[in-house]
Amino acid sequence: MQINELRQRYMVPFEGPKVQNENNPFADVLQGFVKDVNADQLNSSQMTNDFMNGKNVELHEVMIAGEKAKTSLELLMEIRNKTLDMYRELTRMQ
Protein backbone atom coordinates (compact mmCIF):
# COMPACT_ATOMS: atom_id res chain seq x y z
CA MET A 1 0.00 0.00 0.00
CA GLN A 2 1.54 3.29 -1.10
CA ILE A 3 -0.30 5.43 1.45
CA ASN A 4 1.12 3.52 4.39
CA GLU A 5 4.62 3.75 2.94
CA LEU A 6 4.30 7.52 2.53
CA ARG A 7 2.83 7.91 6.00
CA GLN A 8 5.73 5.99 7.55
CA ARG A 9 8.25 8.01 5.58
CA TYR A 10 6.86 11.47 6.34
CA MET A 11 5.14 11.14 9.72
CA VAL A 12 8.25 11.29 11.88
CA PRO A 13 8.69 13.29 15.08
CA PHE A 14 10.05 16.80 14.58
CA GLU A 15 13.46 17.35 16.08
CA GLY A 16 13.82 21.00 15.10
CA PRO A 17 16.86 23.01 14.12
CA LYS A 18 19.74 23.35 16.51
CA VAL A 19 19.95 26.92 17.82
CA GLN A 20 23.50 28.21 18.12
CA ASN A 21 22.73 30.95 20.63
CA GLU A 22 21.48 29.33 23.81
CA ASN A 23 20.23 32.65 25.24
CA ASN A 24 17.48 33.10 22.67
CA PRO A 25 14.10 32.74 24.39
CA PHE A 26 12.11 33.55 21.23
CA ALA A 27 13.76 30.68 19.37
CA ASP A 28 13.14 28.35 22.30
CA VAL A 29 9.45 29.29 22.47
CA LEU A 30 9.02 28.99 18.73
CA GLN A 31 10.81 25.64 18.59
CA GLY A 32 8.69 24.35 21.46
CA PHE A 33 5.53 25.47 19.70
CA VAL A 34 6.57 23.75 16.47
CA LYS A 35 7.18 20.55 18.43
CA ASP A 36 3.73 20.86 20.04
CA VAL A 37 2.07 21.36 16.65
CA ASN A 38 3.90 18.33 15.29
CA ALA A 39 2.81 16.28 18.31
CA ASP A 40 -0.81 17.34 17.70
CA GLN A 41 -0.53 16.31 14.05
CA LEU A 42 0.95 12.91 14.95
CA ASN A 43 -1.67 12.36 17.66
CA SER A 44 -4.47 13.16 15.22
CA SER A 45 -3.03 10.79 12.64
CA GLN A 46 -2.63 8.03 15.20
CA MET A 47 -6.19 8.43 16.48
CA THR A 48 -7.53 8.36 12.93
CA ASN A 49 -5.59 5.18 12.19
CA ASP A 50 -6.79 3.59 15.43
CA PHE A 51 -10.39 4.48 14.62
CA MET A 52 -10.11 3.08 11.10
CA ASN A 53 -8.57 -0.14 12.44
CA GLY A 54 -11.49 -0.66 14.83
CA LYS A 55 -9.66 0.09 18.06
CA ASN A 56 -11.49 1.55 21.04
CA VAL A 57 -11.52 5.20 19.87
CA GLU A 58 -14.70 7.25 19.69
CA LEU A 59 -15.49 9.29 16.58
CA HIS A 60 -15.85 12.53 18.54
CA GLU A 61 -12.34 12.05 19.98
CA VAL A 62 -10.95 11.65 16.46
CA MET A 63 -12.75 14.80 15.30
CA ILE A 64 -11.56 16.81 18.31
CA ALA A 65 -7.95 15.70 17.78
CA GLY A 66 -8.19 16.60 14.08
CA GLU A 67 -9.59 20.05 14.78
CA LYS A 68 -6.99 20.68 17.48
CA ALA A 69 -4.22 19.75 15.05
CA LYS A 70 -5.74 21.95 12.34
CA THR A 71 -6.17 24.93 14.65
CA SER A 72 -2.66 24.70 16.08
CA LEU A 73 -1.20 24.48 12.56
CA GLU A 74 -3.20 27.52 11.45
CA LEU A 75 -1.96 29.45 14.50
CA LEU A 76 1.64 28.46 13.73
CA MET A 77 1.22 29.65 10.13
CA GLU A 78 -0.15 33.00 11.33
CA ILE A 79 2.78 33.40 13.74
CA ARG A 80 5.14 32.65 10.87
CA ASN A 81 3.41 35.18 8.62
CA LYS A 82 3.48 37.91 11.29
CA THR A 83 7.14 37.19 12.04
CA LEU A 84 8.04 37.49 8.36
CA ASP A 85 6.05 40.72 8.09
CA MET A 86 7.91 42.10 11.12
CA TYR A 87 11.27 41.08 9.63
CA ARG A 88 10.45 42.72 6.29
CA GLU A 89 9.37 45.89 8.04
CA LEU A 90 12.58 46.00 10.08
CA THR A 91 14.78 45.45 7.03
CA ARG A 92 12.87 48.13 5.15
CA MET A 93 13.43 50.63 7.98
CA GLN A 94 17.21 50.20 7.91
In a domain, 79, yes or no: yes
What residue ranges in the chain does DSSP mark as E strands?
none
Amino acid type, 59: L
For 64-93, the pLDDT digits (tens) are: 999 999 999 999 999 999 999 999 999 999
In a domain, 76, yes or no: yes
In a domain, 65, yes or no: yes
Number of domains in the chain: 1
For 26-71, the pLDDT digits (tens) are: 888 889 999 999 999 999 999 999 999 999 999 999 999 999 999 9
Task: Please tell me whether the overall predicted TM-score, pTM, comes out greater than 0.75 for this model.
Answer: no
The Cα 16–Cα 32 span in angstroms is: 9
- Of 47, 20, 35, the C-alpha closest to 73 is 35
In a domain, 6, yes or no: no
pLDDT of 1 reads 46
Which domain range does residue 89 map to? 26-93
In a domain, 12, yes or no: no
In a domain, 66, yes or no: yes
In a domain, 13, yes or no: no
Whether the predicted pLDDT of 17 surpasses 70: no
Whether the predicted pLDDT of 21 surpasses 70: no
